[in-house]
Amino acid sequence: MNRLGLDASLLAIPEQLRTPLIAQFEEALAAYAAGDWEKVGIKAGKFCEVAYRICEGYVIGTYASEPSKPDNMLRDCQQLEKFNKTKGRSLCIQVPRILIGLYELRNNRAIGHVGGEIDPNHMDAELFLRGMKWVVGEFIRFFSKLPEDDSRAVVEAVTARTHHIVWKHGDVRRVLDPSKSTADKILILAYAAREGVSVTDLMKWSEYANASRLRRQILRRLHKRALIHFDEKADSVRLLPPGQMYVESGGLLSPS
């Protein structure tokens, strides 16, 4: 997805809300690609808060100076519905009702959950991502001043299916693109782990057979570049902020 095209299609939204909206959306896409279902939900909640402020600003004619959590998402979204005859159904009814559903699921999922032994994070992440894509697509349709063909192309890019690149099953992790270099696989796996990960697990997950070479030629070099912190005493790896930025902006989460 082209960040410049997305930003250009939403220029009618004030920068103080447009930039955070795109940031939360892109971070949710990255988390989904890495198989971090819980993080997708976290980003969805923040996305909904920004999206609500955009709807609110359009409806009342004054946009908030920065994103903030509404006092009551359900009530505040419902308050927008009374403006639909003059402001249209899209940002008064349709988008807010999607936000209500996403926000409810994000904040109250554990309440009354039946069958607690089944982790709902993956199926929830699927709904969160599709909902966010729909909202962004609707914002493009509503706000874009680009030529129609250009706007349509951005909507198609936004709503296209996103594939995850890290497969998880129990304690097993696999990078689903075998063409990635071992160094890139290490960065992707560390990104997906969120917390520190043992070198033993990284060897198993990346299917790299030579332990001493992995530590000497790959982990130490990534450590020297400040992409990871390689704790040789603990024999563990943690992704550093520059490494996170490299994974997200360097195309590592997309298949080659």
**Does the pLDDT of residue 223 top 70, yes or no?**
yes
For residue 255, give the DSSP letter.
-
Q: Answer whether residue 185 is part of any domain.
A: yes
What's the pLDDT tens digit per position in 32-79?
999 889 999 999 999 999 999 999 999 999 999 999 999 999 999 999
Check whether residue 46 and residue 130 sit in a common domain. Answer: yes
Give the Cα-Cα-Cα angle 189, 190, 191 (nearest 5 degrees): 90
**Residue 254 lies inside a defined structural domain of this protein:** no
Cβ-based neighbours of 209, under 8 Å, separated by 6 or more: 203
DSSP track, 64-90: -SS----S-HHHHHHHHGGGHHHH-HI
* Cα diameter, the chain: 69
* pLDDT band per the 50, 70, 90 thresholds, residue 248: confident
pLDDT reported for residue 250: 84
Residue 15 CA neighbour count, 13 Å, CB half:
0
Distance CA 54, CA 102 (A): 16
Sign of the Cα pseudo-torsion (231, 236, 242, 243, in order): positive
Looking at residue 87, its pLDDT comes to 95
Please count the CA atoms within 13 angstroms of the CA of 45 that sit on its side-chain side.
13
Q: Given CA atoms 21, 24, 30, 36 in this order, what sign does their dihedral have? A: negative
Cα-trace Rg, the chain: 21
Spatial distance between the Cα atoms of 23 and 18, rounded to a whole number of angstroms: 9
pLDDT of residue 131: 97
Query: pLDDT per residue over 128-150, tens digit each?
Result: 999 999 999 999 999 999 999 99
Given this model, what pLDDT does residue 112 score? 44
Question: What is the percentage of the chain residues whose pLDDT exceeds 90?
Answer: 77
Give me the chain's average pLDDT, please.
91
Give the structural domain span for 130. Answer: 3-159
**148 and 194 both lie in a single domain:** no
Domain boundary among 136, 159, 182: 159
Distance (Å, whole) CA 112 – CA 175: 35
Same domain? 148 vs 39? yes
For residue 145, tell me if it sits in a domain. yes
Give the pLDDT confidence score for residue 194 in this predicted structure.
73
pLDDT at 185: 94
pLDDT digits (tens, 9 = 90+) for 188-222: 999 988 788 999 999 999 999 899 999 999 999 99
With cut-offs at 50, 70 and 90, classify the pLDDT of residue 121: confident
Measured from the Cβ of residue 42, the count of other Cβ atoms closer than 10 Å reads 16
Q: 52: part of which helix (H) or strand (E)?
A: helix 37-60
Q: How many residues can be counted in the chain?
A: 256
- Is residue 93 one of the residues assigned to a domain? yes
67 plus 153 within the same structural domain = yes
Q: Which pLDDT belongs to residue 169?
A: 84
Distances in Å between the alpha carbon of 182 and those of 30, 31, 178, 216, 253? 20, 20, 9, 13, 14
214 in the same domain as 126: no
Residues 99 and 127 in one domain: yes
94 and 171 in a common domain: no
In this predicted structure, what is the pLDDT of residue 116? 56
Residues 23, 137 share a domain: yes
| 163 — pLDDT class (breaks 50, 70, 90) | confident
92: domain CATH number is 1.20.120
The answer on 211 and 90 residing in a single domain is no
Domain boundary among 92, 126, 159: 159
238: how many CB neighbours lie within 10 A of its CB? 16
On whether both 89 and 105 belong to a single domain, the answer is yes
pLDDT at 240 over 60: yes
Burial of 97 from C-beta contacts in 10 A (0-12 / 13-18 / 19+):
middle
208, 134: one domain: no
Residues 14 and 113 both lie in one domain: yes
Where residue 199 sits, what CATH number does that domain have?
1.10.10.10
More confident residue, 225 or 120: 225
Query: What's the number of domains the chain is made of?
Result: 2
pLDDT tens digits for range 82-103? 999 999 999 999 999 999 999 9
